[in-house]
Amino acid sequence: MRQDYQQFVARNTEIVVIGPEDRSFFASQWAKGQYPFIGLADPEHRVASRYGQEVKLLKFGRMPAILVIDKQGQVLQSHYAGHMRDYPTNHELLAALDAANAADA
């Protein structure tokens, strides 16, 4: 998503990465990686639980989940991964955003 971040911004979209680590972990990762989007620490799994993100201890913790959420908080599209490398492509996400924006027009 970092490579295509400006394409997400052009679609009036913000990317938020939510993880189970604490604030200090996110601060160090964001300083090292210079990510252009937001990193949110969720060590108590409040956000993950709210959106149904699975935790599978035998698969090293939280399973990836990508959600497209509108400004009213409605989930427009969701992808709950079956394994740690199961992600939609940026192209697929951008197409979903284009469809959502067209529906709002």
| Model confidence pLDDT, tens digit, residues 56-98 | 665 556 677 888 887 788 888 888 887 777 888 999 999 988 9
Residue 20 domain-assigned (yes or no): yes
pTM: 0.78
Confidence at residue 61, expressed as pLDDT on a 0 to 100 scale: 65
CATH number of the domain residue 43 falls in? 3.40.30.10
3-state SS class at 38? strand
- If one counts the domains in the chain, the total is 1
**Does a structural domain hold residue 103?**
no
The range of the structural domain enclosing residue 80 comes to: 5-98
CA distance 36 to 15: 9
Query: Is 105 inside a domain boundary?
Result: no
Distances (CA, A) of 33 to 2, 27, 54, 98: 10, 10, 26, 28
Q: What is the pLDDT of residues 10-64, one digit of tens each?
A: 998 888 888 888 999 989 998 999 899 988 998 888 988 888 877 666 555 667 7
